[in-house]
Structure 1
Amino acid sequence: MNELVTEIRHPLVQHKLTLMRSKDTPTDNFRRLLREISQMLAYEVTRDLPIELVKIETPITTIDAPTISGKKLCVISVLRAGNGILDGMLDLLPNARVGHIGLYRDPETLEPVEYYFKVPEDIAERLVIVVDPMLATGNSAAAAITRLKLRGATTIKFVCLLAAPEGIKVMNAAHPDVPVITASIDDHLNEHGYIVPGLGDAGDRLFGTK
């Protein structure tokens, strides 16, 4: 058992993920399902947020009620497919700050190449949730988190839809302080670096580009 990785086995998550895996699921349904699963992943990744008591008045009486303490979260989307998870996260966390990291995977080396980076200036003071549907080789996720740490981020979690054992190994080695939350740990990577059984290219299926 890997203590750094949490696999969400909730029946609703698994049911919706099965629908997403099907090659017959059209783009509009794929997009909706990813948004719905992302909301449930947001619930899991935020379950240990610190809270404080504030005095409020209900229609009946005055009470000390719990509220999230500290600065608001920051959700970082690894472009482009990360935006599919970002949308669902923001449904549940509308006040979160947002950042974007643009990476693409070199088809020959499978190594990440950065082309865009924009995050909040006070990222060092926030809990950072990095989102990307697929943790395949792990190289892009590890590179994104390295860049965030260079900008001062210290409390980081990584959320993905699917993870391959190879990607988990790379992430754990590069960032042993970063928990991974995923809807499924799949079997392996194929020779092209795709997760098996997987669901294909998440970005292409999300945006209908193939």
Structure 2
Amino acid sequence: MSNVHHITHPLIQHKLTLMRQKDRSTSGFRRLLGEISMLMAYEVTREMPTQLIDIETPLEPMKSPVIDGKKTVFVSIMRAGDGFLDGMLSIVPGARVGHVGLYRDPNTLQAVEYYFKMPQGMDEREAIVLDPMLATGNSAIAAVTRLKATNPKSIRFVCLLAAPEGLAKFVAAHPDVPVYTAAIDRGLNEHGYIVPGLGDAGDRIFGTK
């Protein structure tokens, strides 16, 4: 799977280990996720388009590159994807934000959409989809399929953890979409949760369980 980028930077791996601990507080979990998302943003934005602008240094005028942040949209798969937003936006503050609302049917494990809102002019934008967990792959596949209907210039998918089953399924469905993840765990349990994993990311981010 050449389109899968496993980000193994020691700082990311260290912070992820702290997040996995079951006794990590809600505030600590949320803070660590924000820090990791900033570090992952560095890798995800490595090939972002730039444009030259005219500036003046203390010595002379020059043309210098800047990221075209207004052409970037972070797409959060609600609700856990929102935990990635603050860190990403701190790195690319000019980006727009879109949301895809999905929930996983507990019986079929299939994704059911309940909300979809994107900025205008998606055909001119680079989309970066955010969801901490790529488990069965169903929600990620559904979100990207829906997003493709808006015809963005490019799509990248970012997650904190991935299960091999979901990763293979996503790549098969969307071979043109690069995946960036901090960890590829052992697999899924009978309930479709990543193991060893870190539990339900949404519950741990928002303190709802």
Give the TM-score normalised by structure 1: 0.96
Deviation at 1:55, TM superposition (A): 2.4
- RMSD of aligned alpha carbons: 1.2
Contact between 2:69 and 2:95, CA under 8 Å: does it hold in 1? Answer: no
1:60 partner letter: L
Paired with 1:56 and 1:169, the residues of 2 have a C-alpha distance of 46
Deviation at 1:94, TM superposition (A): 0.8
Contact between 2:100 and 2:143, CA under 8 Å: does it hold in 1? Answer: yes
1:192 aligns with 2:191: yes
Identity %: 65
Contiguous gaps of at least 5 residues in structure 2? none
1:165 aligns with 2:164: yes
- Name the SS for the 1:94 alignment partner: coil
Structure 2 equivalent of residue 112 of structure 1: 111
2:164 partner letter: P
Paired with 2:172 and 2:153, the residues of 1 have a C-alpha distance of 17
Contact between 2:69 and 2:94, CA under 8 Å: does it hold in 1? Answer: no
- Name the SS for the 2:27 alignment partner: helix
Shift in alpha-carbon separation, 1:69–1:86, aligned structure 2, 3 A: closer
Deviation at 1:65, TM superposition (A): 1.3
Paired with 2:35 and 2:192, the residues of 1 have a C-alpha distance of 26
2:74 partner letter: V
Deviation per CA, 1:29-51: give whole Å up to 9, x if none: 00000000001111111101122
Structure 2 equivalent of residue 176 of structure 1: 175
Q: How does 1:86-101 map to 2 (within 5 A)?
A: 86-101=85-100
Give the TM-score normalised by structure 2: 0.97
Q: Which runs of 4+ in 1 moved over 3 A?
A: none
Aligned length: 209
Structure 1 equivalent of residue 37 of structure 2: 38
